[in-house]
Amino acid sequence: MKYVILLLIAITTSLSNSYCQNKKPNILLLLADDLGYGELGCYGQEMIKTPTLDKLARQGMIFTDFYAGNAVCSPSRAVLMTGKSSSYNTIRGNSGYFNDDKWMRVALKRDETTAAEMLREAGYQTGFVGKWHLGDPNDLATWAYNRGFDYAVQEQWDSRFGGTQFDEQMHWINGQQDSIYYRVKEWDCKDEFRTNLAFEYLNKLEKDKPFFLFMSYRAPHGHEYTIGNNTLYQDKDWPKQERLHASKITLLDKQIGRMLSKLEEMGELDNTLVIFTSDNGPHNETRGHEVEFFNSNGALRGVKRDVYEGGIRVPMIAYWKENIKAGAVSLHLSGFQDLVPTFAEIAQAKTPKASNGISLVAELLGQKQEQHKYLNWEFQLDGWYRKLPKGGFRQSARIGKWKGVRYGSGAKIELYDLNSDIAEKKNVASEHFEIVKQIEEIFKNRSNSINYPKGGVVQNYKALDKYNAKLK
């Protein structure tokens, strides 16, 4: 009898620690746009205020060595949605170079399973609000609504439909053109507008079914040159563009606070895994804004579009009440491709075969976590009417403390010891031939080439000599 009682206690404890609920856990994915590693208080920021996210970090787990899928939005989000790392992904740049000598947006292929498709199959209600960037603007079949989301509010600017690209922007709801406009003067920021739309979705959810909500925010993206709320940081003797940049981040933090409060009011927050991260490193795209002003990338080298640490290492906060230990800090080497298998394990779903990520559930629960042998990135700059340096092709890989970087398909590999040189200042490739050889093998063999159904090569990973020659 004593043995039976102890066994029952052990089983009960195990189930409790394995997020046993009457309903599967909800999943809330919060994605910032161009937020740098050093732009949150919990990551060392001292000037920009982010009280909501700092509190979330204190209540959950903060990751120190977490990486975006790539160095710019489209290919990074492709990794996030498919669980396939960048060197195996369909999308490896913000656009692809096709045989007719045009740069065009590249869409995920139909046979690539998205996180939303996986979770919907597992019984989840799925919602998306914001920036998609994984489809062809002229093909609704590639939009979020047709890639697994029951409800999708997607910004989709096209000059044929009126409005300007950023200050007055059409948002299509479930693929319908005549949906709703964002007008900059009517809201504190675009993310306030989108949060209100997300609330409308949450209010209509079935209570007995779990949900997956992907909030794809816009802040602090460089091309939002104006916002509705210009009252923040007016007491600071900062340049105008720096006040704007800081305001966008603080207002994003406020909207995340509203979202968490909404889930708490609904009684859903306690049964929700919350993941916050950024699609790539900080931008330097707004005239008058300098990444050094707020130390936006911390001690890291590089910015958005770089495959040095500053372009790809990003903040990651995970919160899951009574499952993730408050105040936990993870040094686990991980990235965007790990989130699809993480969601799959939580949802008791089948991870797509093409995913090469590793579930983070063990790490979140404080258990022994499977490790990556390496992480790698492959990125192609787009060439909208400009010559691409070294073909615009960039690669990097991390093996433990070692970081290899190559700019240009024929360039020499740089090597850095991140334990002693987090800023990647001292190239030690000449001192560690065997490590460089391992990095080179990853660059050469841990990748695949892609052809797209339209007949064009999506990205030319050599030097794009033909294209560059046209610009001479």
Q: Note whether 243 and 285 are same-domain residues.
A: yes
Report in angstroms the alpha-carbon separations of 143 from 30, 62, 124, 139, 165. 19, 32, 19, 7, 18
Contact in structure between 194 and 214 (CB atoms under 8 Å): no
pLDDT-derived band at 43, boundaries 50, 70, 90? very high
CA 378/CA 112 separation, integer angstroms? 19
CB atoms within 10 A of CB 66: 26
Average the pLDDT over 297-305 and give the result: 97
Percent of the chain residues topping a pLDDT of 70: 87
pLDDT-derived band at 179, boundaries 50, 70, 90? low
Q: Is the pLDDT of residue 268 over 70?
A: yes
Q: Note whether 180 and 139 are same-domain residues.
A: yes
pLDDT value of position 171: 87
Question: Mean pLDDT across the chain, nearest whole number?
Answer: 89
pLDDT value of position 22: 73
**Domain span at residue 38?**
25-364
pLDDT value of position 167: 58
pLDDT-derived band at 168, boundaries 50, 70, 90? low
Q: Note whether 347 and 291 are same-domain residues.
A: yes
Number of domains in the chain: 2
Stated pTM of the model: 0.92
Q: 220: cis peptide before it, omega within 30°? A: yes
Q: Note whether 341 and 446 are same-domain residues.
A: no
Q: Is the pLDDT of residue 447 over 50?
A: yes
pLDDT value of position 395: 95
pLDDT value of position 192: 97
Beta bridge partners of 334: 66
Report in angstroms the alpha-carbon separations of 323 from 11, 143, 262, 264. 16, 34, 21, 17
CA 75/CA 91 separation, integer angstroms? 5
CA 296/CA 108 separation, integer angstroms? 31
Q: Note whether 346 and 399 are same-domain residues.
A: no
CATH number at 52 reads: 3.40.720.10
Q: Note whether 432 and 326 are same-domain residues.
A: no
More confident residue, 21 or 366: 366
Q: Note whether 235 and 354 are same-domain residues.
A: yes
pLDDT value of position 158: 52
User: Does residue 285 lie within any of the structural domains?
Assistant: yes
What SS3 class is residue 85? coil
pLDDT-derived band at 157, boundaries 50, 70, 90? low
Q: Note whether 348 and 280 are same-domain residues.
A: yes
CA 174/CA 150 separation, integer angstroms? 8
Q: Note whether 396 and 345 are same-domain residues.
A: no
pLDDT-derived band at 275, boundaries 50, 70, 90? very high
Q: Note whether 217 and 195 are same-domain residues.
A: yes
Q: Note whether 145 and 268 are same-domain residues.
A: yes
User: Does residue 182 lie within any of the structural domains?
Assistant: yes
Report in angstroms the alpha-carbon separations of 356 from 89, 352, 373, 390. 11, 9, 12, 29
Report the interhelical angle of 339-347 vs 73-82 (nearest 10°).
30
Q: Is the pLDDT of residue 57 over 50?
A: yes
Contact in structure between 63 and 56 (CB atoms under 8 Å): no
